[in-house]
């Protein structure tokens, strides 16, 4: 049996990147509820993200979405973030909120529209150069709603060409990560619906292109940890967008719907060498907090990832391998489940205290007065959100 003290050093340095948009208002197509204290500016979103890091020690980078987080001076934004103790992480492009992209962006039949979308990615790379970001994350809201509406094959060919043009522009130390999603907003076909399509494109691009796996972007019942294992095996797992879902792309708090699935995913990361200082995989959240307070929602999220990581590290891998090789089905499953059922919360609390962090980050935040302060200060102006 592996003990907590044996795995504790491996938790050191765990980093979960948080999305700027988690701090802004969001909602469904039915209603966006405003939350008191919601940031009005990118700077306020970063300040809130830095607060999550201050209380948990787990979230040293904030991911930006362009143009939601567009500012005049990204060098200044970087210094602002660094002064608050966080860095600027992945830059997410956005080709889903412009009328020109109604029928496609990187896949559009009109070369001028494709070039506009490519230019947007070039602008994102300029942002990355100023912020010091490593990853350009591309998610494409492209596809068709009706059979016959578009030439599926032609769209793939144009996509490959557009991606190659963008990839040519990224720097030696930078990476392109391509996210897939099986439906929505397109409902008949999506141009990058699954990991295989993303893998085909990033493999054609080169060594600095990888797949981004968003946990909410699969059909119900999909074995996501299998995809994780396969992508790690192929050397093409670039990043995660963590969230949880009951039905579709719900973007709920990671680990809320199915902590066991999160455990299984993290186990495959650990097993595959994609966890720890030698791994380049970016662990990011991609979530929205429609009805709950955003900062506590993010604190809960990063703690959920930490907790399931600790449990996944507790799997006695030697014993597991032995049981697997012996063909002992029930023992292998028992070893796996023993780790999953281990309550690590008290150990983690003590471990945090040993590092000068609050034993209970959620309670410490609620008692800190930060929420009351932002609710009092951030009155007026337009609240930032999914705009």
| Binding flag, residue 142, ligand LRH (CB under 6 A) | no
Q: Does 92 bind ligand LRH (CB under 6 A)?
A: yes
> Which lies closer to ligand LRH via its Cβ, residue 186 or residue 314?
186
- Through-space distance between the first and last CA atoms of the chain, rounded to whole angstroms: 50
- From residue 322 to residue 361, the character string flagging contacts with ligand LRH as x (rule: CB under 6 A) and all else as - is ----------------------------------------
> What DSSP state is assigned to residue 52?
H
In whole angstroms, give the CA distance from residue 58 to residue 348: 13
Give the one residue of 69, 214, 225, 307 binding Mn ion; rule: CB under 5 A. 214
Q: Any contact of residue 68 with ligand LRH (CB under 6 A)? A: no
Closest to Mn ion by CB, 249 vs 375, is 249
Two structure tokens written together for 76: 């200044």
Instruction: Report 278-297 residues binding ligand LRH (CB under 6 A).
Output: 286
Residue 80's binding partner among Mn ion, ligand LRH, none (Cβ under 5 to 8 angstroms by kind) is none
Q: Provide the β-strand partners of residue 239.
A: 212, 282
Closest-approach residue to Mn ion (CB)? 241
If binding means CB under 6 A, how many residues of this protein chain bind ligand LRH?
9
241 near ligand LRH (CB under 6 A): yes
Residue 329 CA to residue 276 CA, distance in Å, equals 29
User: 329-340 and 259-271 are packed helices; what angle lies between their axes, rounded to 10 degrees?
Assistant: 110
H/E segment holding residue 62 = strand 61-65
**Binding-site partner at residue 44 among ligand LRH, Mn ion, none, CB < 5 to 8 Å by type:** none
SS3 state of residue 238: strand
Q: Cα(62)–Cα(285) distance, rounded to whole angstroms?
A: 10
**Residue 92 binding target from ligand LRH, Mn ion, none, CB below 5 to 8 Å by type:** ligand LRH
Q: Residue 286 interacts with Mn ion (CB under 5 A)?
A: yes
Residues 249-268 contacting Mn ion, CB under 5 A: 249
Residue ranges in 166-205 that form contacts with ligand LRH under rule CB under 6 A: 179, 181
User: Least Å distance between CB 182 and ligand LRH?
Assistant: 11
- The residue among 287 and 309 lying less far from ligand LRH, judged by its C-beta, is 287
Contact 9, 51 (CB under 8 A): no
In angstroms, give the least distance from the CB of 77 to Mn ion.
Answer: 22
9: burial class by Cβ within 10 Å (0-12, 13-18, 19+)? exposed
Which of 282, 211, 198 is CA-nearest to residue 18? Answer: 282
* Distance of closest approach, residue 179 Cβ to Mn ion, in angstroms: 5
Q: How far apart are CA 189 and CA 187, in angstroms?
A: 6
Q: Which does 267 bind (CB under 5 to 8 A by kind): ligand LRH, Mn ion, none?
A: none
Residue 87 backbone zone (phi > 0: left; psi -120 to 50: alpha; other: beta): beta
Q: Is 214 near ligand LRH (CB under 6 A)?
A: yes
- Closest to 16 measured CA to CA, from 216, 253, 245: 253
Q: Which is nearer to Mn ion, 231 or 339 (CB)?
A: 231
139 near ligand LRH, judged by CB under 6 A: yes
Least spacing, CB of residue 291 vs ligand LRH, in Å: 18
329-340 and 317-325 are packed helices; what angle lies between their axes, rounded to 10 degrees?
160
Q: Which residues bind ligand LRH (CB under 6 A)?
A: 21, 92, 139, 179, 181, 214, 241, 249, 286
Q: What does the binding site for Mn ion look like in residue numbers (CB under 5 A)?
A: 214, 241, 249, 286
């Amino acid at each position: 049996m592996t003990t907590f003290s044996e795995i504790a050093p491996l938790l050191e340095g765990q980093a979960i990147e948080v999305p700027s948009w988690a701090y802004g208002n969001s909602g469904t197509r039915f209603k966006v509820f405003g939350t008191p204290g919601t940031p009005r500016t990118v700077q306020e979103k970063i300040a809130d993200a830095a607060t999550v890091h201050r209380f948990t020690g787990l979230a040293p980078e904030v991911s930006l979405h362009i143009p939601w987080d567009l500012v005049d001076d990204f060098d200044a934004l970087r210094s602002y973030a660094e002064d608050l103790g966080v860095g600027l992480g992945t830059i997410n492009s956005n080709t889903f909120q412009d009328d020109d992209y109604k029928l496609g962006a990187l896949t559009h039949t009109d070369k001028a529209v494709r070039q506009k979308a490519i230019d947007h990615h070039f602008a994102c790379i300029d942002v990355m150069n100023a912020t010091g970001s490593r990853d350009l994350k591309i998610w494409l809201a492209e596809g068709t709603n009706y059979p016959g509406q578009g030439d599926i094959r032609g769209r793939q060919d144009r996509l490959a060409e557009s991606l190659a043009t963008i990839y040519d522009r990224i720097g030696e130390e930078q990476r392109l990560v391509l996210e897939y999603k099986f439906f929505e907003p397109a409902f008949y076909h999506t141009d990058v619906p699954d990991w295989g399509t993303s893998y085909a494109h990033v493999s054609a691009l080169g060594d600095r292109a990888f797949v981004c796996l968003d946990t909410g972007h699969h059909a119900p019942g999909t074995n996501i940890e299998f995809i994780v294992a396969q992508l790690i095996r192929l050397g093409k797992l670039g990043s995660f967008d963590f969230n949880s879902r009951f039905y579709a792309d719900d973007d709920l708090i990671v680990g809320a719907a199915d902590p066991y699935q999160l455990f299984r995913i993290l186990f495959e990361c650990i097993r595959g060498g994609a966890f720890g200082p030698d791994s380049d995989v970016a662990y990011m959240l991609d979530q929205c907090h429609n009805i709950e307070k955003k900062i506590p929602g993010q604190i809960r999220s990063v703690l959920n990832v930490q907790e399931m990581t600790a449990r996944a590290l507790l799997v006695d891998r030697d014993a597991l391998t032995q049981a697997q090789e012996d063909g002992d089905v029930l023992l292998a499953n028992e070893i796996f489940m023993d780790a999953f059922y281990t309550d690590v919360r008290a150990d983690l609390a003590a471990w945090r205290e040993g590092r000068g962090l609050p034993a209970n980050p959620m309670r410490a935040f609620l008692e800190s007065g930060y929420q009351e302060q932002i609710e009092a200060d951030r009155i007026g102006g337009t609240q930032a959100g999914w705009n």
